[in-house]
């Protein structure tokens, strides 16, 4: 009799759609909204009146220079909080599970947003920014792991890359909400309400988490029967169907072949932990805003373009999208470097700013979260994903700090740096990033275990795709390797028995 559960009365494809709509989408809308929430409020008259130390609108000379430094530090507090929030997942996510980690991030987000939006001093506002960043860092490191570990191989790319679309939609929402509230209020409500508004996303998700399936790969580390029931529900299969049993066997083989000490991230043995960590950390992206209305239209365009990888990531694979995106971004940066700063070529620069928002989400928005979770082995998926997320947040912090002086001192030539960086990603991806499309997470482990840094791409290309029969053969071979001594003893006993009878 099949005792596999239903979640909110759903199984299979309907359950996965519910996971996206009820947990993933609002969580990453929260993520995106907070990424763009302060962009439009820092220059509002009501805001600088409340925080004169952050006023760079009505000040000049040394006062303006000092306030700019303070303003940069306060803004960057969000990114630094996100770095530590991502890394904190290493300490507890594997102990308490993916669902509880997401819940912890959402609870912290509610508290942090309340502190931030009710601030009357720079110190309180800064503490709020740090805590909001910590919450978003936790969410950005835990939701992709849960989503990847609950996904099927065939549609894992589109399932996870939806996160990028939701980030863009969240940023777009924050820009338009802030723009609208500048007309609705003339008091501090014009920035306090937009800051606290994303609380609704966290409040919406939290009750549904109690009815969602936990990651079957996390459950396999001690709760095997529950893991089987969850896999059956996600696949809409019987508990002991061939596909569910094969998936259970794959996960257990992967767990048996991997180790779990954090110090192994600094080594490069058979499992290639250091190699995988470096690949996960490599992705880097940035974006910039101009005036409020340009900013609103830019993020709206980016949100629309975020739909493209949903239809291409599982068709063309990860490598092609990453290289296409990097090449397009390099061209955009190069043209902006050559045309910016001049009134006669300003229109061309604006065109390529919009083109930048076309190329960026194709390869470097949601795909970075997907690839980091795919290449990480099961016992190290949380640490590697957390480090990858922390690296991206740290890069965002660095870019935010160097861009103001960079554009001031170098003008449009500053973008040459990013043109070179983006162009360098093309050969890096081509030579060092193996294709993961169409592979189970356990097959990806097998690719790394049978390769080294310089041939992992060719190994992934040549290695045949694993079937259930291949898995049965592997299990049979493994069982055979564990039996020789027992078989030999049995044969000896038989011979001894025959000899005694004689």
Q: What is the Cα–Cα distance from 296 to 197, expressed in whole angstroms?
A: 18
Question: From CA 149, how far away is CA 98, in angstroms rounded?
Answer: 10
Q: What is the mean pLDDT of residues 236-248?
A: 89
For residue 154, the model assigns a pLDDT of 74
Map residue 221 onto helix, strand or coil.
Answer: coil
- Euclidean distance between the first and the last CA atom of the chain, given in angstroms as a whole number: 51
DSSP single-letter state for residue 10: B
Reply yes or no on whether the pLDDT at 427 is more than 50.
Answer: yes
More confident residue, 268 or 169: 169
pLDDT tens digits, residue range 317-349? 999 999 999 999 999 999 988 886 666 777 788
What are the backbone dihedrals phi and psi of residue 310, each rounded to the nearest 5 degrees, phi first? -60, -35
Considering the chain, what percentage of its residues have pLDDT values greater than 70?
83
Q: How confident is the model over 116-124, as a mean pLDDT?
A: 95
Find where tokens 């083109």 sit: 355
Contacts of 14 (CB under 8 A, 6+ apart): none
Phi, then psi, of 244 in degrees rounded to 5: -65, -45
SS3 60: coil
Helix (H) or strand (E) holding 163: helix 156-184
Q: Which fold has domain 12-221+260-456?
A: Growth Hormone; Chain: A; (1.20.1250)
Give the number of residues written for the chain: 502
Q: What is the pLDDT of residues 386-419, one digit of tens each?
A: 999 899 898 888 887 787 677 777 888 888 999 9
- Rounded to an integer, the average pLDDT of 100-108 is 97
Q: Is residue 146 a contact partner of residue 97, using CB atoms and an 8 Å limit?
A: no
Reply yes or no on whether the pLDDT at 501 is more than 60: no
Residues 366, 386 contacting (CB under 8 angstroms): no
pLDDT band of residue 487 (cuts 50, 70, 90) is very low
pLDDT at 63 over 70: yes
For the cut 60, the answer to whether the pLDDT of residue 502 exceeds it is no
- The answer to whether residues 30 and 109 touch, using CB atoms and an 8 Å cutoff, is yes
Between the ranges 52-61, 215-224, 320-329, 347-356, where is the mean pLDDT highest? 320-329
Q: Model pTM greater than 0.85?
A: no
Tokens 């220059």 found at: 43
Token pair of 24, please?
């993933």
303 Cα distance to chain centroid: 17
Percent of the chain exceeding pLDDT 90 equals 41
Which sequence spans correspond to the domains of the chain? 12-221+260-456
Please report which residue ranges of 343-380 form alpha helices under DSSP H. 346-363, 366-375
Q: Report d(CA 461, CA 403) in Å as an integer.
A: 40
């Amino acid at each position: 009799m099949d005792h596999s559960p239903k979640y909110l009365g759903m199984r299979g494809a309907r359950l996965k759609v519910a996971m996206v709509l009820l947990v993933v989408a609002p969580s990453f809308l929260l993520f995106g909204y907070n990424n763009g929430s302060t962009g439009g409020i820092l220059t509002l008259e009501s805001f600088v009146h409340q925080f004169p130390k952050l006023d760079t609108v009505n000040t000049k000379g040394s006062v303006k220079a000092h306030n700019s430094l303070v303003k940069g530090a306060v803004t960057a507090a969000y990114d630094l909080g996100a770095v530590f929030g991502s890394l904190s997942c290493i300490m507890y996510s594997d102990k308490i599970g993916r669902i509880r980690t997401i819940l912890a991030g959402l609870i912290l987000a509610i508290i942090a947003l309340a502190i931030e939006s009710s601030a009357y001093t720079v110190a309180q506002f800064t503490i709020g920014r740090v805590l909001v960043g910590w919450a978003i860092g936790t969410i950005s490191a835990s939701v992709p792991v849960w989503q990847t570990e609950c996904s099927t191989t065939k549609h894992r790319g589109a399932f996870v890359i939806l996160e990028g679309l939701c980030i863009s939609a969240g940023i777009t929402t924050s820009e338009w909400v802030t723009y609208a509230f500048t007309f609705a209020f003339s008091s501090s409500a014009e920035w306090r309400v937009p800051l606290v508004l994303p609380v609704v996303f966290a409040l919406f998700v939290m009750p549904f988490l109690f009815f969602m399936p936990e990651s079957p790969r996390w459950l396999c580390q001690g709760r095997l029967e529950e893991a089987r029931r969850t896999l059956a529900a996600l696949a809409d299969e019987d508990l002991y169907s061939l596909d569910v049993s094969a998936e259970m066997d794959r996960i257990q083989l992967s767990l048996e072949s991997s180790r779990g000490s954090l110090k192994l991230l600094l080594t490069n043995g058979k499992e290639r932990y250091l190699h995988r960590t470096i690949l996960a950390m490599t992705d880097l992206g940035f974006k910039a805003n101009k005036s409020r209305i340009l900013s609103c239209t830019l993020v709206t365009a980016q949100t629309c373009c975020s739909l493209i990888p949903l239809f291409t990531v599982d068709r063309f694979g990860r490598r092609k999208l990453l290289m296409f995106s990097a090449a397009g971004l390099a061209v955009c940066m190069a043209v902006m470097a050559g045309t910016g700063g001049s009134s006669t070529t300003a229109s061309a620069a604006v065109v390529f700013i919009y083109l930048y928002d076309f190329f960026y989400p194709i390869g470097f928005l949601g795909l970075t979260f997907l690839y980091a979770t795919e290449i990480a082995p099961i016992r190290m998926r949380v640490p590697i994903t957390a480090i990858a997320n922390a690296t991206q947040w740290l890069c965002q912090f660095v870019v935010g700090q160097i861009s103001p002086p960079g554009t001031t001192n170098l003008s449009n030539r500053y973008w040459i740096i990013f043109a070179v960086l983006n162009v360098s990603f093309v050969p890096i991806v081509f030579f060092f990033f193996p294709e993961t499309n169409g592979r189970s997470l356990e097959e990806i482990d097998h690719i790394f275990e049978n390769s080294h840094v310089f041939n992992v791409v060719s190994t992934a290309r040549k290695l045949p795709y694993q079937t259930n029969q291949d898995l049965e053969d592997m299990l049979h071979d493994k069982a055979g390797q564990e039996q020789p001594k027992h078989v030999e003893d049995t044969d000896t006993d038989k011979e001894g028995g025959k000899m005694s009878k004689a």
